[in-house]
Structure 1
Amino acid sequence: MTDYPVVVVGAGPIGLAAAAHLTETGSAVVVLERGTSAGAAVSQWNHVRLFSPWSEVVDPAAARLLEPTGWTAPDGDTYATGREWVEQYLAPLAAALGDAVRTDCEVVGVARRGRDRVVDAGRDTEPLSVHVRHSDGTEERILARAVVDASGTWGSPNPLGSEGLAAIGERTAADKIVYRVPDLLDPAVLPDYAGKHIVIAGSGHSALTAIIGFAELAARHPGTTLTWAVRRGVTAEVFGGGEADELAARGALGLRAKKAVDEGYLTVVSGFRTEEVAPQGDQVTLIGDSGARIEDVDRVVALTGFRPDMSWLSEVRLDLDPTLQAPRFVAELVDPNMHSCGSVSPHGVEELTQPEPGLYLVGMKSYGRAPTFLAMTGYEQVRSIAAELAGDHDGARTVQLTLPDTGVCGGAGLFDDPDAPSTGGCCGVPAAPELITLGAPMRD
């Protein structure tokens, strides 16, 4: 098997970190990126600022690889935007890895050479077969001793519909719905939102980021109307741990979003679970499963999370949690049905090993549908896997990471359950939809 490289799928932060660790431990590596450049997914949220400082978003092995190139590490106490993360770290790291990083390469399937998932014989002796489609339509097969799937979840946003499926009419209204935080400083984007009625759906960090941006937009452009539709209640815990959060910028994000709500920039509709998107002339109406309606909507910003794409892993054997679609032992650490939004224990090869020898899901994809992933978690995952593949089994199982606490470890609750009472943790929700109209927004 050592005659074959380790194939890393995805040239994002975790995939490139995996390549750096594998290179450092002496493994040959090939990184396959579907986009036209490293960090292609990050480039799609160039305008968003990370809430982890530079000191926590640069992988140690990657820094060691970059140092001989003359690279200067950014100030560890400052915070990068997506654009800065790519330009000052991911692009230089890909360049340092050289020909190991291949772009315009979409992985369309992984299997065991000469075998589908049914055949038992040879699964521990034959290499993995990675099927690749290039942007010009040509295809190739790469044989690998191991595959590290760091493809993330960015390409698979959850729908607006509350059942995990698109709401009735959601696809038809696709021109009225976006699934990522828009860049409201882009002159080409601004006319779609300024002076319009915007519904923000979701309650995670992306939604909080959008709330801040849209509140600032409403202050600059009178006539902009904002509605925040959430499936659970807007309790204090929704905004995070504030000053108790060990990631100061993450805590500040929640405080700024809470300030925008308190100052009346948004009408909050809680307990709203979208069942239908109905046409209304040039606008749409959102209809909840209780019959509640949000009318005269110009644009919907659906920030309801992401999910992993498992379609190209159909011919390998996986042990995934049936709820989260995450590796079973990782799911036990991150399942929001069982935990509040506090810290997740560091983990590595032991929790990530699959029934298919040599196959690992890492990074955002290893969390399945669970939220709150940190880059540091992924860096520790790939360090552990690289050590394992190099034969350092003890090192692979030695945790080398302490994660920051969110400051909201108030106890477990029923995640996104419309009938559950508030538990005092971060997951409580009201029993029924409630319309809360807050005071008139303050203007500049």
Structure 2
Amino acid sequence: MRVRFLAILLALGGFLLLVAPPAAMAAELSAGPAVTVSQGERIDDDLYAAGSTVDIAGEVTRDVFAAASSVVVSGRVGGDATLAAGTIRVDGPIAGSLRVAGGTVEVTAPIGWDLAILGAGSVSVARSATVGHDVAAIGAGTITIDGRVDGDIRGSVGTLIVGGRVNGDIDVDAERIEIRDGAEVRGALRYRAPQPATIAAGARVLGPQEHTPRPAATGREPKTALDRAIDWVMTVLLRLSWAIVAGTLLILLLPQQTSRATDMLRVAPLPTVLWGIAALVVVPIATLLLLVTIIGIPAALLLLGTWLAVLYLSQVLVGIALVRLLPVRSFRGDRRLTLWLSMLVGTTAILLFRMLPLPFGWTFWWSLVIGVLGLGMAWTAFSGWGLPAPISATSPTLTAPQPLEQAESRLLTGEGTPSPASEDSSERPNEER
């Protein structure tokens, strides 16, 4: 979970570097495997840094924004510091506020204003550190305060350990609170926790104490087999409802196109599979390449949206195609009611197979096969590439091309080809002459 959160932050940091407003474009922008501000170096502006590691040993007179796997600030920051990384260490003074999001955070230097913590696993404020105002936490794992906090400690945290001095109040939601020997809380201690706080004999809490009991976040009770079965049925019904609504709209709006696309698995199975694999791989790559350019962003969004829509509708298209493979000619019509009934039966079967609790990643592989087939059918029907000649060939006369089903019927029954009797009758006048 933390790795995914960090990856999102890194991507967001890189995006912000690309779309920074003109005012920010005048600042120092640094990106690469390793970004370093050497000791003795001075940046008289904001610093935006992104890379594998960011090391700020010099001075930044204004704000710092950094996203990396590891960030170390040992120099002075004259403004605020916003840091997102797996490991963060702040050994230099921060004149403004320090905002952190990461796995492990260690602060050993003074912070002029607030310390804001978002989703960190472990945060420690050493005895040598001070926070000039508040400590605000959202979803932190463990916070250890051995230094001095001149304001309040607020927010939500798994475990709060106070071994230093807090001049304000402590008002938190926590699983566990420990006030160690030698700690001092000059304000009130208000907390919501499963158990009362552990307060050492040598600790001092000068303000009022208020404990609001709440259940521990230990997880839900184990479900019975009946509960799991009910959950499975409800999940299947919900996803089936979504698919049926989407398939109904597709059939109402594009009945002929849907009929043609679902025929591709029967009349051109190999091109359908090959084009599906190509679309599954090529479209994401093409989307990334288009996003790199400014003028290609609208095309990339359109391409990606279409790709995702076809992927979702693959369960509908493949469901109809499987029903139309049955040796029942009435299933192959392009009437809306026929398509809808085929969709209802086929999509239900597809979804039930996908939801079976089978091992070895069954759900993933089944969904991958359905996605490949759906993309292949849509592209083959749209482009016509790979279709056999009898399907795309037109009649030698000036009449309009016949539908696919009528053409196949004539080929099977022999209609449209001259019979031997007609050939004999056409040759008899010549013989009589």
Please indicate the TM-score interval, normalised by the length of the shorter structure: under 0.3
TM-score w.r.t. the length of structure 1 is: 0.18
Higher helix share: 2
Query: Which has the greater radius of gyration?
Result: 2
Higher RCO (CA-CA < 8 Å; seq separation 6+): 1
